[in-house]
Amino acid sequence: MAKRDYYEILGVDRGASEADIKKSYRRVAMKYHPDRNSDDHDAEDKFKEASEAYEVLSNAEKRAAYDRFGHEGLGNGAGGQGGAGGFSDIFGDVFGDIFGGGGRSRGGPARGSDLRYNLELDLEEAVRGVTTTIRVPSLVSCEVCDGSGARKGTQPSTCGTCGGVGQVRMSQGFFSVQQTCPKCRGRGVLITDPCGSCHGQGRREEVKNLSVKVPPGVDNGDRIRLAGEGEAGTTGGPPGDLYVQIMVREHDIFQRDGRNLYCEVPISFVDAALGGELEVPTLSGKVKLKVPPETQTGRLFRLRGKGVPSVRGGGLGDLLCRVVVETPVNLSARQKELLAEFHTDLGGQKNSPRQTSWFEGVKKFFDGFTM
């Protein structure tokens, strides 16, 4: 039976790039994989057919021979399970990047893990910036063995089980699965004479004191990266990084929204009615706030430049003060008498515009009901 054209099997044209051929083979192989089609023998045949086509077209020499002479130019040893390492090598090459690197994974030096440290700050510290010292427990490179894990004067030996790769390949039929080497546990080397200080680990625990410069204007969730201050790498690999996560404590007076600060300022109803001047706190000291006559509760006053600087640069935000008219309590008999006289003196004058409009709205609402 004549063999089908390899380009037709993979669904690519003859000018397809190596990346396109690999992508098409992955799609076809996934579709007809025996594990997905356990009861379909035709699918298994198509999977083998696609694997054979990819084995040829992914090899520059074989592809050139096939393009020139067709199947006859491949000879008996190419284009089948016996050529170029068989289907197991093809499977590992194409699907290795999905399952952790396939045959390209190697043992040896590995980068250390990144660490995170939660740094709590007061609002004042976050706004103005601060330099502080933190204590971070971490794994650091062993100074005695220089991170090798072997006793000083000796060297680790290459693992004979994996040949220094750090992984072993287990094949079944034309499938190949890679696993961490059980002998060296993925390091690729064996330590027969371990360092007495780190017991062969190449790293030891240590609490580091680090100085952190927090720029002005940081907010909740901001991170400061300290390069190389994470855990030490293994087998001489580079260290990871330390990320300082900012957490700003709640403030008794101010609330923050981006570059702006908000606060509530209680005022007496006399100051609200007649106007006055109040002292308002800011993060840079007290300032005067002029309240005009007939100020209603909830009104916002903006104090420009009394907010927070942007950590990315730019001007200061603003402080927005919301006045709240406070009802007097613990009144004396005379004060109550004066208030009663004041209420009587108001008479029918429209001194409460919001109250008047509200009652008019209520009246219209009920007038709308029909019996």
Per-residue model confidence (pLDDT) at position 34: 73
What gap in Å lies between CA 25 and CA 9, rounded to an integer? 9
Tell me what the mean pLDDT of segment 270-275 comes to: 90
What's the confidence (pLDDT) of residue 229?
93
Position 102 pLDDT exceeds 70: no
Is the predicted pLDDT of residue 49 greater than 80, yes or no? yes
User: pTM surpassing 0.85?
Assistant: no
Give the model's pLDDT for residue 80: 47
Spatial CA neighbour of 160 closest among 170, 148, 149, 168? 168
What pLDDT does residue 62 have?
A: 86
Mean pLDDT of 218-224: 93
Segment 302-335, tens digit of pLDDT: 999 999 998 887 789 999 999 999 988 899 999 9
CATH class of 111-150+196-250: mainly beta
Rounded mean pLDDT, 5-16: 90
Q: Per mean pLDDT, which range of 91-105, 138-152, 170-184 is the poorest?
A: 91-105
What pLDDT is recorded for position 322? Answer: 95
| pLDDT (mean) for 212-223 | 93
Q: Which residues contact 352 (CB under 8 A, 6 or more apart)?
A: none
Q: Pull the structure tokens for residue 112.
A: 């250390």
Q: Between these two residues, 34 and 29, which has the higher pLDDT value? A: 29
Strand 319-326 relative to strand 260-268, pairing: parallel
Burial 242-278 (b: 16+ CB within 10 A, else e): bbbebebeeeeebebeebbbbbebebeeebbeeebeb
Q: Please, which pLDDT band fits residue 90 given cuts at 50, 70 and 90? A: very low
Computed over every residue of the chain, the mean pLDDT equals 82
Q: Which of 164-173, 231-240, 345-354 has the lowest mean pLDDT?
A: 345-354
Q: Distances from the Cα of 110 to the Cαs of 56, 113, 155, 186, 188, in angstroms?
A: 35, 9, 18, 10, 11
Backbone angles phi, psi at 208, to 5 degrees: -100, 140
More confident residue, 36 or 201: 201
**Per-residue confidence at 201, pLDDT binned at 50, 70, 90?**
confident
Domain residue ranges in the chain: 6-103, 111-150+196-250, 255-326, 333-366
The pLDDT, as a whole number, for residue 313 is 77
Q: What is the mean pLDDT of residues 11-24?
A: 89
pLDDT in tens, 337-365: 998 888 888 765 566 666 666 667 777 77
Is the dihedral angle over the CA atoms 266, 268, 274, 280 positive or is it negative?
Answer: negative
Q: Taking the CA atoms of 294, 300, 302 and 307 in sequence, report the sign of the dihedral they define.
A: positive
CB-based contact 243:223 (threshold 8 Å)? yes
CATH of 255-326, one of 3.40.50.620, 3.30.160.270, 3.10.150.10, 2.60.260.20: 2.60.260.20
Kindly give, in sequence order, each residue whose CB lies less than 8 Å from that of residue 329, ignoring residues fewer than 6 positions away: none
Q: Report how far Cα 236 is from the mean position of its chain's Cα atoms.
A: 27
Q: Do domains 6-103 and 255-326 have the same CATH topology?
A: no
Architecture of domain 6-103: Orthogonal Bundle (1.10)
CA distances from 212 to 116, 166, 216, 273, 308 (A): 13, 38, 13, 50, 20
pLDDT above 70 as % of the chain? 82
